[in-house]
Amino acid sequence: MKSLVYVLEDDASIAGLVKFSLEREGIECRIIGTVREFISSLTERTPDLALLDIMLPDGNGLEVLRYVKERYRGVSCIILSALSQESDKVTGLDLGADDYISKPFGVMELVARIKAALRRRAGSGVIRLGELELDSDTMRVTLGGKELELNRKEFELLRYCMKNAGIVLSRDTLLTEIWGYIDTETRTLDNHIARLRKLGIDRFETVFGVGYRFRKE
């Protein structure tokens, strides 16, 4: 699946140049011109990276940065702004930006920095499917920005299923991988999946006579 970048930028010429440059590198790109549309778009599909201008017609990109980092921690954020003073950069980085690029900018450098941020994210232990995000480093799971409380086995089961999304996983495989044994009489697996479903994770599909499949979409 292609990486997805949201570009929050109200200057059409800059936005078009960024979109063209990223898509040429095989990166999916969505241009968004207002804060309101950006926040709405997060609920439709969460990007891998957000490229954020600061001065926008209906708000401030730094507030958007704060919002994203509070609710969608797995999303990398790069500030792209005409505000180029050292204090501006420090403020952005302190708020959680992964990088800060000043306008005017070199297209090749911008693309290189975005690709570097995407590589760092890919190796961070974060798995995301739609609004469901799991961070192996912090053992934190969020759904639609809301943190879920899971015990260790629930977390391990969810992580294994997310890593193998789209594949039919037999009961024996799941019991062996998560609990280290096979017991055809146990309801442990079913009870844990029922608990995850109750928390709002609705991607588990029962494959009768075999086990479960975790939907990708």
> CB burial class (10 A; 0-12, 13-18, 19+) of residue 95?
middle
For residue 184, the tally of other CB atoms under 10 A from its CB is 7
Determine if the pTM surpasses 0.85.
no
| For the chain, the helix, strand and coil percentages under 3-state DSSP, each to the nearest 5 | 40, 25, 35
Of the given ranges (40-49, 65-74, 145-154, 181-190), which has the lowest mean pLDDT? 181-190
Mean of the pLDDT values across residues 26-48? 93
Tens digit of each residue's pLDDT (9 = 90 or more) over 137-184: 788 899 988 999 999 889 999 999 998 999 999 999 998 888 877 766
- Map out the domains of the chain with their CATH numbers: 4-124 (3.40.50.2300), 128-214 (1.10.10.10)
Q: Is the peptide bond before 104 cis (omega within 30 degrees of 0)?
A: yes
Q: 217 - beta bridge partners?
A: none
- CA–CA separation, 194 vs 18, rounded Å? 44
Q: Is the pLDDT of residue 194 over 90?
A: yes
Q: Is the pLDDT of residue 14 over 90?
A: yes
